[in-house]
Amino acid sequence: MVYEAAKTANRANYSTSAKVFHWGFVALFAYGIAKQVDDITQLADFSLLRFELIFATIMLVLLAVRFLYMRKTQSSSLPDETHPMQKLAARLVHLGMYVSLATIAISGIFVGVIYWIGIKDGLLIEGIIAVHELAVTTSYWLIACHVAAALFHRAKKDGVWNSMVPVWKEAGGAENR
């Protein structure tokens, strides 16, 4: 009962922790993309390899913590009257982002470990790199869908934008459902 009340209380606005997780992952993902390894031979530099493995592990752990936190303490800020297909699409995009980000980290760890043990070419490492690249591309598309949906809700003024975004607030919308 208290658990459900806490979830309902956060319905119109995500908690500060949820916002820190959200925007922290935006920064973490952007940093990861900016610092990405362009050529697998760069992993011959052990300090870079170690950094990449640590970064991917931290990202994976934080992603798991975020997923559990959001599932246990937060609920969707979509209005109750939102069409069921739109709710399903939102859920699939969110879950897809979690899966693609986890896949990026896990496949990156596998690439690093396999490279470290001496398998620097061949079908195994090429296959893992292909999975890694597919996960990155998928994450780009899902993030684009997520941003487009956020902008849609901003234009709709239904309170969804204001529930997570600290700037460019909606005016005259359903801010406090």
φ, ψ (nearest 5 deg) of residue 76: -60, 145
Own/partner long-range contacts of 44-49 (Cβ < 8 Å, ≥24 apart): 49/112, 49/115, 49/116
Nearest to 38 by CA among 136, 118, 123, 114: 136
The pair of structure tokens assigned to 34 is 């900016």
Give the model confidence (pLDDT) of 8-19 as tens digits: 333 468 999 999
**Which DSSP letter does residue 83 get?**
-
Give Cα 69 to chain centroid, integer Å: 13
Q: What is the pTM of this model?
A: 0.87
Would you call 76 helix, strand, or coil by DSSP? Answer: coil
**Percent above pLDDT 70 for the chain:** 90
Range scoring the smallest mean pLDDT among 31-45, 75-89, 161-175: 161-175
> Does residue 135 contact residue 103 with C-beta atoms inside 8 Å?
yes
Tell me the mean pLDDT in the region 163-170.
88
Give the model confidence (pLDDT) of 105-146 as tens digits: 999 999 999 999 999 999 999 999 999 999 999 999 999 999
3-state SS of 15-72 is CHHHHHHHHHHHHHHHHHHHCCCCCHHHHHCHHHHHHHHHHHHHHHHHHHHHHHHHHH
